[in-house]
Every structure is written in C-alpha cells, then in structure tokens.
Chain A
Amino acid sequence: MRKKKYINEVFQQTRWMQGIIYEQSVEGDRGILPPETEPEIMSEIDESWKIPSALKRKLNPNLPEVAQLYVLRHYTRLSQMVFGNNVANNIGLATATMKYSPLVNEDLVRMKQVAEIHPEQDVRSLQGMLEIVYGLEQALKTLSGMDHVSMQPGGGAAAIFTNAKIVKHYHEDRGEGDHRTQIITTLNSHPANAAAAASVGFEVIHLPPGSAGYPDIESLKAAISDKTAGLMTTNPEDTGLFNPKIKEWTDLIHQAGGLCVHDHANANGVIGIARSREANFDLCHFNLHKTFSIPHGSYGGGTGAVGVHNDLERYLPKPRITFDGDLYSLDFDLPDSIGTVRSYLGNIQAHVKAFAWIMALGEKGIRRVAEIAVLNNNYMTEKIAEIRGASISYHPDNTNWRIEQTRFSWEELNRDTGVDTEDIRNRVVDYGIQTYWPSHHPYTVPQPFSLEPTESVSKADIDELIEVFTRVSEEAYRNPEIVQNAPHKSSTSAVDPASFADPPMSWRVYQRRKNKNT
C-alpha cells in the first residue's frame, strides 16, 4: 500500500490566464466553413428563399471570430482548469455521489446507433435502444421495489416534480384535491422537494431536525392532518443519517390518506440493501447521474428515474415503452398520464450508460457498491472527527454509523480562529483537491461541510483528503490569513468583493458598462 505523505506541497493548478473568447477574436478569422448551396439550386429558387425584410436579420450577431486551432486550444485549456472526477479527488462534493464513470460506456454511446438516432424513427429501427431502456426499467424496478418506472425526467428535480404532480392527480381523481393541499418534507431534504411541491400548488410544511438529525415522530404527528396530501423526504438525508423510524412515518401518512414519496438521490449507500418498497413508499426517484455513474457534465447531463406502485402507474409520464415479447413499442394512449415532462424518452445516452454500469456489476457488484461506499464514509468520518476544530453533526446525540456521506461542522474551529467554512473550501483547492459542498439551504448545522467518498475512491484518496483537511485546520490555528485569503494556487485568484454587486451576466453587458465608464 502507498505510504504517507499524501500532501502535494508543490501543487499549482494550471493557470492559463486564457481570457474570454471574445478577447481572442480577430476580425475576419474563420473557425469552420459551412457548405455553400449549389449554383443549380440558386438558379431554380430565385428569390423565394429570402426572409421578408421585417424578419430578416440586419446585423450579423456579434460572435467571436477565431481560427479553428485556437477554438480547440481555448476550450482544451479551459478544460485543464477543471477538477473533473477523472482528474482530481472529488470526495468533497457530497450529495452529488461523484463516482467513476466507466470509459467503456462513453465509447458505447459514441456509436452511431446511439449518437445519430432520431427519437421519432420508426420503432422497428429503434429496437436496440428500446430494449436497453426497457431493460434498465426492469433493473430499476427491482432496485427500488416499485412496480413501474419512467426515465423521462431530465434530472433529479424534474423527477421530484413528476412525483409531486402524480400525488396531485391521485388526490384530484379521488375528489380530494381541494382539501389535500399540504406536503410534508424535512428541512434536511433536498430543496427541490419543497420547490417542486410548491410548483404544483401544494403548501409545504418543513419539519426541522431533532437532536438525532432527523425530525422526531411527534413533530410529524403534529404536522399530519386531513389536509395532508403526502410526505416527500430524502432518506438517508444529506447528513448521511438514515431515519430508522421511516416505516412508522409512512404508516402514519398512509393512515391519514396521504402518499409517501422517497427522494432516493442518496441511494448509493443502501442500493440493493434497503429499498423504497420495504419502507412502504408509494413513489420514489433515483438520479442516474449519481448512483448509476452517469458523468455530471459540469452540472448536467442529469437524468431522473421515477418509480411508482401499481395503483399509480396510470399517471406516469407519456409515452411509455411496451413489450409484447417480440416487439418494443411506444404507448401514447394514456389518458390519465400527467403528460410529458421532457420530450421523447429522456436522456437516452444516459440510459445506455446506466444499463451498462449495472451489467458490469450485477447483483453482487451493486450490493458491493453500497457496502464499500458506507465503509469508505465511516473510515473517513472517524478520521475527520479527530481533526482539531471539526465535529460530526448530530454527534454524540446520534452515534449511529453514517451511511454514504457525512455532514460535519467547523463550528469550533470558527469560534477559535475566525476562519469559516467558506475560507476552508477555498483553501483545500491549493492542495489539488476539489472544494467541498457545505450544505443545502438553510444551514441546519453551523459552519457545515459535507463529504461523500463513494465506492470509487481508494483508501489513498481518502487519506489524502484527511491530510489536507488536517493541514488546513493547523493553518487556521497557526496562520489564519493564509486560509482566509485562499486560494493561492488555483487557476483563478480570489475575487474582488466589490464585483459581487450586480455583476454583468454576459460579455456584451460588461463591454457596454466599460465603454460607458471610459
């Protein structure tokens, strides 16, 4: 095994000082030439093709003019100033499940039978794709315990919206839509649960965490009434804590006539081990870009998969895939469906990658994913807790092992040194590792930081992170300025605080303001 030390003392992130692409523009340069229309066509169509003058563009759009090599070099250089998971330790991005995205799967979706397929081709010419999407649906059914799955939503929040919409339709169909107006969620559940519920017209009740990290059952009982439409909750929550009473919760909601929706974005530590079904959820969703290895694409390629019980199947988005044992088809004739949430069948290339990932692991492998994710996290958590100024949230009130991620606090370090969690986020980059995610809003833990070492990370990666965090803590106690003025070795310098007020949201606005001032 690799020996200590892991810290890279001489790290310097690539720093190209590349400038905005507009600053590289040279009048008259061309990046690529589109084909010219054949003269035979021109002589046949006369003036018929011309746009009426009211709608014809008068001025060419101000796009940059850059020769081909320099476009390539520009974006290649920009890519070199990004700590993608293929490049650097990304344990810090908790809640995002930064795991290895197998390269063979990227190769597979480059095939023309994926990349060059139109979604509305004759279904006879789409049988391979439909077979894979259908196969993935079957796998997600068994992994969630749900009876039916749709992978149309374009991301996790879109999947949560889909589920909220199904809950709404379910109550409306039963004539209870007018009085079942409230959704209960927890303050540590992802904000999309509250936002999506509100966007379909529900009033949202937030349950604050108790000392154990999740709301106590009394607060749930107090929130339940004849207005309850359902529960929408993450479990385990973003704190890494699994609510052991979740089945009592779902029972209480069911007794009150509500539905239970499982935000299973944090599935990685329990996949194949504890499913939505056994906790009596009626609906759930997975994020294929988290648990199922789809690369995060700098904030998407997201893909959400929703699963529901038999009695909610009729509400699923349309179209749905059917299989008669011979031919895969698309069924649009679904009068009770909530409609379409994304055009066509969803992110097909993501479906192919997720299916390939499952087929590379199988049942044993998938359970192994959960086991190692949990082992990695608890190994890391124990070590982080030893760092001066750091503590595990809701500990020692809750001494349970954490699941796949842990939320920590720098409260003590902040009190002792004045250094805050934002400062430390910036400082760890100086040692060549990704920044970390503090917490979703609102912060229920003071000075939060959240870490998630998935099954993909090695012991050496975890040890590197622990050493960097230990070093930064020492710096905060010894020389807080170096942390507070970080980063020092990043591709970019610390921001001029004045520029946060009303920053320009496009280059043209920046230019306009600059010209006005000169």
Chain B
Amino acid sequence: MVGTDFVHPYIPNSNPTSLSAMLEEIGVSSIEELFHSLAKELRYQGSLELPEAWDSEIELRRFISETLQKNTAFEPHQNFRGGGCWQHYVPSICDEILSRGEFLTAYTGSRHANVGSFQAQFEFQSMIAELTDMDVVSYVSYDWGSAASTALGMAQRITQRRKLLIPRNIGPWRSSQIETMRASSNIDWINIDPASGQIELNELRESMGPDVAAIYIENPCYLGNLETEVEAISALAHEQGAIFIVGVDPLSLGVIEAPGSYEADIVCGTIQTLGIHMFAGGGLAGLLAMRDEQRIKTECPWPILGLLETQQENEFTFGWANFDRTPYGLRDESQDFIGTGQTIWAIIAGVYLALMGPQGIKEIGETILQRSHYAAKKLAAIPSITLPMNKATYFKEFIINIDGSGKKISTVNEILTDLGFNSGIDLSESYPQFGQAMLVAITECHTKADIDVFAQALDKTLS
C-alpha cells in the first residue's frame, strides 16, 4: 500500500483528514484490510517500472507539449492529404461547444439528468436524416469502416444471406475493417473501371444472385470518384431482394444527390468532415442512417433516440427507442457488438450542420467541387503528370500519376514534406494499377493561390 503521506490533486480523499475519518467510520485500521479478497498470489509484487511522474502541472504540460512539438502540423492550406481523414475548416463555435465540460464529461445518464445531450443527439439524427434522405439515424459508430461493417452485418441478418458485393474502390482501411468484421470469405470484390473508378457493372451483374445479402458502394469512394450508375445498381440489388448500402461523405450532400433518392436502404459514412479536427485520426466517427422500415431498423445494433412528448405542453424529451434490440438488451442474440462510441463528435457535427444550413452546405460543396476541378486541371498541366482516371466524376479528391517523371511518389512526398507540404496519399502499393500515383485532396481551405503554389512545388520536385 502507498503511504498515507501521498496526497494528489486528482484524489481528494488522499488527504489524511478524510482518509482517517472514513477508515474510522467503517471500522478498519488500514486500506489494506479492504483488499483481503485479493489473494497474495493474485497481487503484483514488483515495481510497475513507470517513468517518474511529473509532480507539478507546469512540468507535466511542458514535458508533453515538448514531445508533441516533434510533430509537424502542416498549414491547413498546405495539407493535400485526405483518404478518410480530411482537413476542413472547423468553425470557432464547434470548438467552443466541444470545450463545454457539461457535454464533454457527461456519460449517457438519463434524459432527466442529461436532456441537453439527448436533444443534441436527436438533432444530429434529424439533420443527417435530411442530408441522406433517410428517416432513421442512430448514435454514431467508431468510424466509417465500422459503420459500413455494421450496415453489412445488418443486411446479412435482414436477408438471412451471407454474400456481400463490394467494389475495389473503397480503399485499404475500410476494406480491411470490413474483412475483419464480416469475414473475408463472404465478400466478392468487384473490379472497377480504371478510367472512371466506378464499379464494373457487368461484373456486378454476373456476381448478383439470390444469395447476395447486400451491394455496398461509396459515393464518393476512397479514390475520390462518384458512382453515377446508382439507379442501375440500386435496381440490381432490389430485384434480387438484396440490401443496397451507400457510404458517403455527408459534406458532399449539399451538391450530390441524397442516397435516399436513389433508393438506398442503409447509408453509412464519416462525420469527421463536419466541423471536427483530424486529431491524427482521432476525429473519426461513423454515421448510420436507414429507411424507416421495421425489418431494417430492428437489426440496428446502435441505439437510436426517439422523440417523446412530456406531460408539459410543447415540450419534448428523448429516449432510447430500441434498447431491447441493442446488444445491451440482447447480449449474444444480437450478433453484433457496440458500446461507448463517439457521441461527442455527433454533437459537434450537429453544431456544424446547424451553422451551415441548407445554403451553406450547398455553397461549400460547390466551392470544393470548383477548386478541386481547378486543381486537377492545374496539376495535369505539369508535363510529367497525367490524370489516370480521365473519365471520373469527382468531388474533392482525384488521382495524379507521375510516371512521366521517372520518380517515385514516396521520394516526391518526402521532398514535399520538407518543403512544408503534406501532399497526396501514395497509392502505388494499394492501387498499383495506377502506377506511381497519388490521391490529392482539395477542400475549402485551399485558395487558388494555395493550389498554384502547390502546383509549382510539385512541378519543381518532378523536373
């Protein structure tokens, strides 16, 4: 046991006054007595070999911040790396609400004690419902990949079938997550058209059959392109009784058609793009939205808030509408796992969408589209650069190939890093068919001048 002289600011009752009063009150002479159910053989007798603690807050702050300063935070307008975590502008109000200790340090609690966080979650559900044109939205999942895996598992349970059809344009992270969570033996990977990045429709048609649980596509996908044949894919799924699942970046849904309008059954995606910093990937959270059909929502393992009326006129409150259908209620009968997720990001995404409104979400989508198309044109004008997916329709990301320079992306990216640019993701290992290629992400953070400066740096590096 630690001596009684150890008092720590995080541990109020370590002060000798409270400590001895409490021991006396329960009639024991030492804390050690309270641990008697832990047999000696179960106790760890050795040293923990932890580094020496920093006694004061000032020392702690300095030590941790000096370590963190070994990281390079690129200027937002010189960061062109996306692929699942993007540099978007975070409005000040999002950070202000994130710093509210009331939201941040609460747990679920009950609607009676925490109605404010319940309402913020319900409003998030309601705004995502509008963006996706779905009627039911759940609490958020860990990230896009886990939300996609959950949606695919729901489809398997709804249809009582196993087979999943997924195009090869969803990127290495989500592919690995889905294979881990849904077993790779159930997945038929469908090839993509190299010029458009879109799913090979004929191959999809051939793979389709009455044993297919779901078709999953992304719009936009990891490679940045949009899937334009959505009506055909949707019909293909539904003709065979399969579930049609669409993954989205919701920030694009002010300009791109909502998946509900082309008959998606379940929508998943990220919400990191909605007012949340990258946090080196810690800012991720996954959205899950679905049609208001019993057979679908009953298979959703994540809790969903319902709007309740109170005994007071004109007052709403909120409650978990599907507790009995979550793993909390079903245990092993649920066939899926969920737990504490990333709700704080749903609250922040709600703040972001409330700020943007219908006009803002459309305008930001247009700005991103326009600037990304300008960037593609500008970069393609560099002699050694080509755009391998020359038939792709894209939102904010596109692929450039540098084979003409004879250089490798890894070398080029190292040089650009040293020049202060976080350039595009190297695709040469994950998508070798595109050669030495990188995925470039353009957001509202990049002005024309920023794009021109990047193009210049790239040109210089390649020549």
User: In the complex, which residues of chain A have a beta carbon less than 8 angstroms from the beta carbon of B54?
Assistant: 359-360
Q: Assess the A273–B146 pair: CB atoms within 8 A.
A: no
B135 CB within 8 Å of chain A:
yes
Interfacial residues of chain A within 36-67, with CB under 8 A of chain B in the complex? 36-38, 40-42, 44-45, 48-52, 54-58, 60-66
Judge whether B332 and A198 touch: CB under 8 Å. yes
Residue in contact with A343 in the complex, picked from B33, B174, B258, CB distance below 8 Å: B174
Question: Among the listed stretches B5-13, B206-214, B399-407, B453-461, which one makes contact with chain A, having 4 or more residues with CB under 8 Å of it?
Answer: B5-13
For the complex formed, measure the closest distance between the CB of A488 and the CB atoms of chain B, giving whole angstroms: 10
User: Shortest CB–CB separation between residue B145 and chain A, in angstroms?
Assistant: 6
Q: Do A344 and B68 have beta carbons less than 8 Å apart?
A: no
Within 8 A of B (CB), among A94-123: 96, 98-102, 104, 106-122
Q: A272-B44, A297-B344 are in contact. Are A34 and B374 (CB under 8 A)?
A: no
Given contacts A36-B367, A128-B69, A153-B142, 11 further A-B contacts (CB under 8 A): A1-B21, A63-B357, A128-B70, A129-B68, A195-B335, A296-B105, A297-B345, A299-B341, A401-B34, A459-B12, A504-B306
Give chain B residues whose Cβ lies under 8 Å from the Cβ of A36: 363, 367
Q: How does the 8 Å CB contact mask read for A486-518 relative to B, with 1 for contact and 0 for none?
A: 110011111110111001111111100000000
Q: How far is the CA of A37 from the CA of B125 in the complex (A)?
A: 31
Please tell me if the beta carbons of A118 and B11 are within 8 angstroms of each other in the complex. Answer: no
What chain B residues lie within 8 Å of A81 (beta carbons)? 114-116, 119
User: What count of chain B residues pass the 8 Å CB interface test?
Assistant: 202
Summed over the interface, the residue pairs from A and B with CB atoms below 8 Å come to a total of 717
Tell me if B354 and A492 are in contact (CB < 8 A): no
Across the interface, do A296 and B106 meet the contact criterion of CB distance under 8 Å? yes
| A252 CB → nearest B CB, Å | 16
Is A37 within 8 A of B120, CB to CB?
no
Say yes or no: B110 contacts A22, CB within 8 Å: no
Given contacts A360-B53, A490-B115, whether A115 and B257 have CB atoms under 8 Å apart is: no
Question: How far apart sit A142 and B115, CA to CA, in the bound complex (Å)?
Answer: 40
Contacts of A341 in B (CB 8 A): 146, 177, 180-181
Q: How far is the CB of B81 from chain A (nearest CB, A)?
A: 5
Judge whether A369 is part of the interface by a CB distance below 8 angstroms. Answer: yes
Name, among A65, A343, A352, the residue most crowded by chain B CB atoms within 10 Å (CB to CB).
Answer: A343
A344, B280: Cβ atoms closer than 8 Å: yes
With A131-B70, A299-B340, A401-B36 as known contacts, state yes or no: A507 contacts B129, CB within 8 Å. yes
Residue contact B334 to A441, C-beta cutoff 8 Å: no
Binds B, one of A217-225, A387-395, A409-417, A450-458: A450-458
Q: Is A210 positioned at the interface, with any CB of B under 8 Å from its CB?
A: no
Residues A127 and B337 in contact in the complex (CB < 8 Å), given A51-B369, A116-B277: no
Closest residue on chain B to residue A165 by CB atoms: B180
Given contacts A195-B337, A340-B177, A341-B180, contact A45 B374 (CB under 8 A): yes
Q: A298 within 8 Å of B by Cβ?
A: yes
30 A-B pairs in the complex with CB atoms less than 8 angstroms apart: A19-B314, A36-B363, A49-B369, A63-B356, A112-B73, A115-B73, A116-B79, A116-B278, A119-B281, A132-B64, A139-B50, A157-B337, A192-B339, A194-B327, A244-B38, A295-B104, A298-B120, A302-B142, A341-B146, A348-B282, A349-B279, A359-B63, A362-B51, A363-B48, A367-B2, A371-B1, A490-B112, A495-B310, A503-B308, A507-B126
Closest chain-B Cβ to A127's Cβ sits at a distance in Å of 5
Asked if A20 contacts B34 (CB within 8 A), the reply is no
Contact of A273 among B23, B44, B139 (CB under 8 A): B44
- Per-residue interface assignment for chain B, residues 441 to 460, with 1 indicating a CB less than 8 Å from any chain A CB and 0 otherwise: 00010011000000000000
Q: Which residues of A contact B191 (CB under 8 A)?
A: none
- In Å, the complex CA distance between A20 and B358 comes to 17
What's the Cα separation between A505 and B169 when bound, in Å? 32
B26 close to A378 (CB less than 8 A): yes
Shortest A109–chain B CB gap in Å is 7
**What are the 5 closest A-B residue pairs judged by CB atoms, nearest first?**
A362-B53, A503-B306, A157-B339, A154-B142, A297-B344
Question: Does B37 interact with chain A (Cβ within 8 Å)?
Answer: yes
Among A154, A301, A400, A440, point to the contact of B146 (Cβ < 8 A).
Answer: A154
**A68-B355 contact in complex given A361-B8, A372-B13, C-beta closer than 8 Å:** yes
Residues from 24 to 56 in B contacting A, C-beta threshold 8 Å:
25-26, 31, 33-39, 41-44, 47-54
- Chain A CB within 8 A of B382 CB: no
Give Cα distance in the complex from A367 to B8, angstroms: 12
Q: Is the CB of B6 within 8 A of A368?
A: yes
Given A352-B68, A365-B6: A275 in contact with B44 (beta carbons within 8 A) = yes
Q: Are A30 and B347 in contact (CB-based, < 8 A)? A: no
Set of chain A residues within 8 Å of B335, measured between Cβ atoms:
195, 198-199
Tell me which of B18, B70, B105, B311 contacts A495 (CB under 8 A): B311
Q: A476: CB under 8 A from chain B?
A: no
- For A30, list chain B residues within 8 Å (CB): 357, 359-360
Q: How far is the CA of A188 from the CA of B84 in the complex (A)?
A: 38
